[in-house]
Amino acid sequence: MNKTGKISSNPLVKKLNLMIAGCKSPLSGHACPTPEIITGGADRLPPAPVFRPDETENVVEEYWLTEPFSSVRISALDDGDIRYLITEPKLTEKELIVLEEVYERLRAVLVYDTPTKRREVSLDAARVKKIIKSFVPEITEERSDVLIYYLGRNFTGYGKLDPLMHDEMIEDITCNGADTLVYVYHRKYANLPTNLRFENQELNKYALKLAQKADKQISLTTPPLIDAALPEGSRAQITYSDIVSSKGSSFTIRRFQADPMTPVDLLTYGTYDENLLAYIWLAVENGKSIIVVGGTASGKTSTMNAISFFIPPNAKIVSLEDTREIQIPNQNWLPMKTRESGLNLSKGDVDLFSLLKSSLRQRPEYIIVGEVRGKRGPDPFPGNEHRAYHVLHPPCRRGQRGRQPSHP
């Protein structure tokens, strides 16, 4: 239906309307889950945990993060500030000692051979319980489960930040330095301070841990700041020590949806109307190249992910990125990313220009160049035989022209 209230006669628009009504994939025709926006109502959330908030708090919303262990309450304080407060089970001094002993035992028996196996490591609850019982035979099942929760959080998860990584309403997690509160960007409440903070040495160790999870190296001798993709798909920007950040180590984690945005999602959320999306569909089907330009957090990557659903399912695609962000549903897809060797050894660097040159030898039908944040990006339009899609960071067309080495 168009702005005049009449039903459009465009067959593509009609097909997109059917996609919304039946929630069908534009390529395969298979049913896909209808996107759901959590509004915070009691009927849309897990059973709320029982809190005893302070008298100075006005609880706005509360829900589980990892039921029944970690939960959050979003509270408005007397001074008007809204806080994101995490609650986890408390441990006794004896349980803390047992937790440390079991943690060291598990570290001694697990050997990581490859990055892939490292990410597949999971704790066997039954075996871990036996180890816990060997230290404390009289421990109850309830307290044993609490210890297993902390072991999983610290061993295979994200430690202190692990509860935040389970909240689907959080888009960004930011730590600006030692002894400062960790901030989150909540989809409903925007920027919120949490009740988490890191001490100086603790923060340095955590920055190293994040880098290791992303299979990256960061130190005082290599560049003390890196961009990295975490195992579950989030993007991390990490600085180490106070060389480039006066407050010490810092990090920002940008979280992405586990499933990429689809054209149906963009229509459902009102990001695009049906006519514009139908026009983009026509452009893809007729072999036109596309440039996606926008500012920070404007939805460039989400748009590119949605556009990729219009590419034929068996077409050969090569994507080039500084940091892996693009998610494409096609099987015939080769994702490539740049490499920085560090230690001032430029011979080992692989930049976007090198990746583009290599990709042209692979006979791709579609070339997708991910977000370019540097001064100049590679020319993704080397010839008419390739369909090229390009994501650029400048918020206007004038800035886009300055980042391209030639006119497309």
Average pLDDT over residues 198-216: 91
Half-sphere exposure (CA, 13 Å, Cβ side) for 357? Answer: 6
Closest by Cα among 92, 107, 109, 102 to 128: 102
Query: Contacts by 26-30 with C-beta closer than 8 Å and gap 24+?
Result: 26/263, 26/281, 26/309, 26/310, 27/309, 27/310, 27/311, 27/312, 27/313, 27/329, 28/313
The topology under which CATH files domain 263-402 is Rossmann fold (3.40.50)
For the chain, the average pLDDT equals 78
Kindly state the percentage of the chain with pLDDT values over 70. 73
DSSP state of 87: E
Kindly state the percentage of the chain with pLDDT values over 90. 33
pLDDT tens, position by position, 84-143: 999 999 999 999 999 998 888 887 765 444 444 555 567 788 888 888 998 889 999 999
> CB within 8 A of 38, min separation 6: which ones?
44, 45, 168, 169
59 in Cβ contact with 71 (< 8 Å)? no
- Kindly tell me if the per-residue pLDDT of 274 is higher than 50: yes
pLDDT tens, position by position, 1-46: 544 444 455 555 555 555 444 443 433 334 333 333 333 333 333 4
Which pLDDT value is given to residue 24? 39
Every domain of the chain and the residues it spans: 57-87+162-254, 93-156, 263-402
Which pLDDT value is given to residue 161? 95
Q: In this structure, what token pair is assigned to residue 286?
A: 């007729």
Question: What is the Cα–Cα distance from 397 to 280, expressed in whole angstroms?
Answer: 19
Which pLDDT value is given to residue 77? 80
Q: What predicted TM-score, i.e. pTM, was given to this entire model?
A: 0.71
Which range has the worst mean pLDDT, 208-217, 259-268, 340-349, 384-393? 340-349
Strands in 82-87's sheet, in edge-to-edge order, are 57-66, 70-77, 82-87, 190-197, 181-186, 170-175, 250-254, 235-239, 225-229
Which pLDDT value is given to residue 323? 75
Which pLDDT value is given to residue 404? 53
Q: What is the dihedral of CA 270, 276, 281, 285, to 10 degrees?
A: -170
Which pLDDT value is given to residue 79? 75
Pick the CATH number of 57-87+162-254 from 3.30.450.380, 3.40.640.10, 3.10.520.10, 3.40.50.970: 3.30.450.380
